[in-house]
Chains A and B, each alone.
Chain A
Amino acid sequence: MKIKAKVFGILRQRFPDYSPDQGLELEIQEGTTAGELLTYLRIPDHQEGILIMKGRPLKKEDKLTHGDLVNIFQAVYGG
């Protein structure tokens, strides 16, 4: 299935040709979870990757579906 991911903050440094307008077009296995997507994108646990979709933070076990648009962040605590 295909999904689109937009990446924010210093996580962008992991994707050298990243275009903020286009994001990442990804082809991943059916039923991939939020946690599995972070692993697939090689975002290590210590960077505390978070997926947000339709305004809601996803849990690691939440499954993605074809056509999803997710935003990927590092966790923040306040400012």
Chain B
Amino acid sequence: MKFLKVNMSNKTISVEEVPQQYLGLGGRGLTSIMINAEVPAQCDPLGPQNKLIFAPGFLSGTQMVNTSRISVGAKSPLTGTIKESNAGGTIAAALGHLGITAIIVEGQAEKGELFLLRIDEKGEACLLPAQEFRGMRTYALVEKLLTLYGEKTSVMCVGPAGEFRMKAASIQASDIDGRPCRAAGRGGLGAVMAAKGLKALVVDQRGNSPDALADPSAFKEAAKSYAKAVKEHPFSGQLLPNLGTAGLVSIVNSMGGFPSYNARKGVMEGWEKISGETMTQIIKERGGNPSHMGCSQCIVHCSNVYVDKQGKYVTSSLEYETIWANGGMTGIDDLDTIARLDFLCDDIGLDTMSTGVAMGIAMDAGYKQFGDGPAALQMMEEIAQGSEFGKILGNGPVAVGQHFNHPRVPVVKGQSVAAYDPRAMQGNAVTYSTSPMGGDHTAGLVLGEYLGGLLDPLKAEGQVEASRNNQIAMAAVDSIGLCLLASFALATPAGGEAFIRAMNAKFGTQLGPEAIPQLGMRVLKAEREFNQKAGFSNQDDRMPQFYYKEPLPPHNTVVVISDEEMDSTFNF
């Protein structure tokens, strides 16, 4: 239980015991509560007053399955709100093994300075000059760093997009195979990291000083029971290992909620060509891996390794949201092109979602035709080169909309929505509008409720409550370090019971099931409070106008959640 505080202004590093007010927190709970308490809400996100916090979940590094998720928190240059951007890979488990609760990056290096933060297997940290890595793309960078520091090394880094301070810049995280293909994509935190003067975090995976568990044998038993619940759940145990998240392409199109051609239609023509079923078949035929382990402690294996016709690596992992943003929104129905765009985003250090949506807006504005794959690849290279237009694209959807004076910009608080059109799935209008993160699906997706027959996706009734409950649950899940895709077992009796048992065995507490929503509400309240101080009000919790006016085929519905209903989401 220690904080590693890194001051980039004077290049000092200090190790501190976790102060009382942050004890028991991890992941998003820790980043958000600390940012709300310590970062001036009106500060420049790219200035010295902002803090960039890397926090593994409070179960990261334990035996609990699927807990290698890291939360990266800061004030976002994309949204101006508080931000938690979440990534998988190996670094959360590596930090957990070292007993590091958070790395807190403060201040700002002089212009032109660039550093690596290296943490060795004893947990000793130092800043090393990184001039030689300036401008480097992430795959080449991580390959070099693994050569220098050994294969048992976890990296989080920025690419050229971060160094250009682009608002869609990601922080890339290395996976099990040492590839920087996992991303804290959302909110432009790559720009914050680069602005601090930090090119990469380099963490030894061989640490052996984790925080003690209050009752190790009870924890082990509970973790085993939870793993069983994850395996027995049909989604995490069967569908995800076979099709990955790409399995959602067919079902969301069938529901008429797959935003296509910059959200002009709810079904993409030719979606079968970019479906999870097709992707899996292509990967198998070419000798790739459709059921890949990407993150430490993972038993779901939703990842994949996509290869070309010669069987050569293209990217990992091709995900639903990436396929949607770079395929659905752009009308590109070719998986090879989408896979290449995914690789380029990871390599340049860009959020695949903001980037794909930005390109879709450019096409909608007439810059290129929908479906023009080569044009999309060219746009990506413009971003990498930092050309004038590339900088606009790299700043995301709002910048592109302004450039073309185009009003159809599918964002909330500056961040693009995701692959579930809120006109066909009204609950997501509530989540996109009211989440303290801006447009965000992992903040509280409403989907299972429609398929289970609990809610009518096209009616307002019940949507606020569903969104509220899911936002609360996700704020807790993101604090635990648990992967969203292994979290659905929490809702099963056996899984929920086992998980509470594990938390109590970790902390030596007697918490009941209400502890999870209580944590979620505490986190959301802190995030809302920060946003209010930063100048946001209920008026910002709205979808863009076209969602209320422009019916989405095939259901031909608009968003029907009233402002009053939206404003009741955080009545707790």
* A75 contacts partner chain B, Cβ-Cβ < 8 Å: yes
Q: Does B175 contact A (CB under 8 A)?
A: no
- A10 CA to B290 CA, complexed, in Å: 13
Assuming the A-B contacts A77-B448, A79-B485, are A9 and B250 also in contact, with contact meaning beta carbons closer than 8 angstroms in the complex?
Answer: yes
A41: CB under 8 A from chain B? no
Given A12-B277, A77-B448, A78-B441, 6 more pairs with CB closer than 8 A: A54-B554, A55-B424, A55-B554, A73-B251, A73-B254, A78-B484
Question: Is the Cβ of B272 less than 8 Å from the Cβ of A10?
Answer: no
A79 to B272, CA, bound (A): 18
Q: Is B451 an interface residue (CB 8 A)?
A: yes
Query: How far is B488's CA from A71's CA once the two chains are assembled, in angstroms?
Result: 24
Considering the chains assembled together, what is the distance between the CA atoms of A38 and B495 in angstroms?
26
CB-CB < 8 A to B242: which residues of A? 9-10
| B304: min CB distance to chain A, Å | 13
Residue of B nearest to A44 (CB): B234
Residues in A neighbouring B277, C-beta threshold 8 A: 8-9, 12, 20
Q: Is A74 an interface residue (CB 8 A)?
A: yes
Interfacial chain A residues near B321, Cβ < 8 Å: 79
Within B136-167, the residues touching A (CB, 8 Å) are none
**Which residues of chain A (30-79) have a CB below 8 Å from chain B?**
46-48, 50, 52, 54-57, 59-60, 71, 73-79
A78 touches B247 (CB 8 A): no
| Contact between A8 and B238, CB atoms less than 8 A apart | no
B234 touches A47 (CB 8 A): yes
How far, in Å, is B461 (CB) from chain A's closest CB?
15
With A and B bound together, what is the CA distance between A49 and B251 in angstroms?
Answer: 12
Tell me whether B19 is interfacial, beta carbon within 8 Å: no
CB <8 Å contact, B245 and A55: no
Contacts of A79 in B (CB 8 A): 244-248, 319-321, 485
Interface residue total, chain A, C-beta cutoff 8 A: 24
Neighbouring A residues of B450 by C-beta, 8 Å? 57
Q: Contacts of B235 on A, CB cut-off 8 Å?
A: 48, 74-77
Per-position contact with A for B480-513: 1 when CB-CB < 8 Å, else 0? 0000110010000000000000000000000000
- Which of B441-455 touch A at CB < 8 Å? 441-442, 445, 447-448, 450-453
Nearest chain-A residue to B470 (Cβ)?
Answer: A78
B243 interface hit (Cβ, 8 Å) = yes
Q: Is B250 within 8 A of A59, CB to CB? A: no
Instruction: Name, among B235, B246, B254, B451, the residue most crowded by chain A CB atoms within 10 Å (CB to CB).
Output: B254
User: Judging by beta carbons under 8 Å apart, are A73 and B250 in contact?
Assistant: yes
B243-286 CB contact bits vs A (8 Å, 1 = yes)? 11111101100111000000000100000100111000000000
- Chain B residue contacts of A12, Cβ below 8 A: 277
Residues from 370 to 396 in B contacting A, C-beta threshold 8 Å: none
The smallest C-beta distance from B56 to any residue of chain A, in angstroms, reads 22
Q: Is B239 an interface residue (CB 8 A)?
A: yes
Residues of A within 8 A of B246 (CB): 79
Question: B485 — which chain A residues lie within 8 A by C-beta?
Answer: 78-79
Task: Indicate if the CB atoms of B451 and A57 lie closer than 8 Å.
Answer: yes
Let me know if B555 is at the binding interface, CB within 8 A.
yes
Residue of A nearest to B419 (CB): A79
8 contacts between A and B (CB under 8 A): A8-B254, A46-B234, A52-B255, A57-B450, A60-B453, A75-B452, A77-B445, A78-B441
In the assembled complex, the Cα of A76 lies from the Cα of B254 at a distance in Å of 13
Q: In chain B between 93 and 141, which residues have their CB closer than 8 angstroms to a CB of chain A?
A: none
Number of interface residues, chain B, beta carbon within 8 A: 40
- The answer to whether residues A20 and B254 also contact, given A60-B453, A74-B239 and a CB cut-off of 8 A, is no
Residues of chain B within 8 A of A8, CB atoms compared: 247, 250-251, 254, 275, 277
Q: Shortest Cβ distance from A3 into chain B, in angstroms?
A: 16
Q: Flag if B254 contacts A59 (CB, 8 Å).
A: no
- In the assembled complex, the CB of A10 is this many whole angstroms from the nearest CB of chain B, namely 5
User: B66 to chain A: closest CB distance in Å?
Assistant: 14
Residue interface mask B223-236, A partner, CB < 8 A = 1: 00000000000110
Q: A9-B239, A47-B234 are in contact. Are A76 and B272 (CB under 8 A)?
A: no
Q: How far is the CA of A20 from the CA of B453 in the complex (A)?
A: 26
CB distance from B343 to the nearest CB of A (A): 20
Once the chains bind, are B254 and A71 in contact (CB under 8 Å)? yes
CA distance A66 to B470 in the complex (A): 38
Complex CA distance for A47 and B232, rounded to whole angstroms: 10
Within the complex, the shortest CB–CB distance from A54 to chain B, in Å, comes to 8
By a CB distance below 8 angstroms, the chain B residues around A55 are 254-256, 266, 424, 554-555
- In the bound complex, residues from chain A placing their C-beta under 8 Å from that of B447 are 76-78
Q: Is the CB of A10 within 8 A of B255?
A: no
* CB-defined contacts of A20 to chain B, threshold 8 Å: 272, 277
Q: A47: which B residues are within 8 A, CB to CB?
A: 234, 238
Residue B448 contacts which of A9, A46, A78 (CB distance < 8 angstroms)? Answer: A78
Bound-complex Cα distance A18 to B319 (A) = 25
Closest to B441 in A: A78
Given A20-B272, A55-B256, are A74 and B234 also a contact pair (CB < 8 Å)?
yes
**B255 and A9: CB pair below 8 A?**
no
- Which of A47, A59, A73 has the most chain B CB within a 10 Å cutoff? A73
- Give Cα distance in the complex from A48 to B447, angstroms: 14
CB <8 Å contact, B451 and A50: yes
Q: How far is the CA of A52 from the CA of B488 in the complex (A)?
A: 22
Give the Cβ gap from B479 to chain A, nearest Cβ, in Å. 18
A45: nearest chain-B partner, CB-CB: B234
Bound state CA distance, A75 and B449, in angstroms? 10
A57 to B257, CA, bound (A): 12
Q: Chain B residues near A74: list those with CB within 8 A.
A: 234-235, 238-239
Q: Are B238 and A76 in contact (CB under 8 A)?
A: no
Distance in angstroms from B247 CB to nearest chain A CB is 5
Q: Is the CB of B254 within 8 A of A48?
A: no
Closest chain-A Cβ to B565's Cβ sits at a distance in Å of 22
Closest 5 CB pairs of A and B: A79-B245, A55-B256, A79-B320, A77-B448, A78-B445
Given A10-B239, A10-B243, A55-B255, A76 contacting B448 (CB threshold 8 A): yes
Q: In this complex, what residue of B is CB-closest to A60? A: B453
